[in-house]
Amino acid sequence: MDVIQMQRTWVEYTKSLYREGFLDSQFAQLQLLQDESNPDFVVEVVSLFFEDSERLLNDLTKVIDQQQGVDFKKVDAHVHQLKGSSSSIGAQRVKNACVAFRSFCDEQNIEGSLRCLHQVKQEYYLVKNKLENLFSLEQKIVAAGGSVPVDELGFL
């Protein structure tokens, strides 16, 4: 695949991510923040996000699976963290799932929380998958000597 083809694919893929609501303008902001002085900014932040999120999701699963009474304060704190980081990188659907999750936490609704946990996980893995694809595509572009055509995402 030549570079231009790859670049086009990248643009299309990115746009589809926005269109399908996986990402929002915050991600675009992140992309704007990335420049020569800070070339790996997006990847760095997103991998931080992955690390954090996996840890948080693990913790969450543990807390919710506890047999004797779920500590909703803890759950809420974790979800808050997750919501904060997801909104920071613009993982919109994860963030939305977190919002719903928190309202169930307020109600202390175990069933709803479980459902939301699943949804959050699902959304998280989806977006992780998508972002990893995106990054690998970017790496390929860079490896092929091209540059990531951030400017072409003009509509943002």
Residues that bind another protein (CB under 8 A): 19, 21, 24-26, 29-30, 32-33, 35, 38, 41, 44-45, 48-49, 51-52, 77, 80-81, 83-85, 87-90, 92, 96, 99, 103, 106
Rounded distance between C-alpha atoms, residue 127 and residue 131, angstroms: 6
Of 10 and 101, nearer to another protein (C-beta) is: 101
- What six digits make up the tokens of 49? 């996000």
The nearest distance, CB 6 to another protein, in angstroms, is 25
Instruction: Please report, for residues 5, 9, 66, 74, 81, the alpha-carbon distance to residue 89 in angstroms, rounded to integers and kept in the order given.
Output: 27, 22, 30, 23, 13
Of 106 and 151, nearer to another protein (C-beta) is: 106
The nearest distance, CB 144 to another protein, in angstroms, is 26
- What six digits make up the tokens of 24? 């929002």
- What six digits make up the tokens of 129? 């998958």
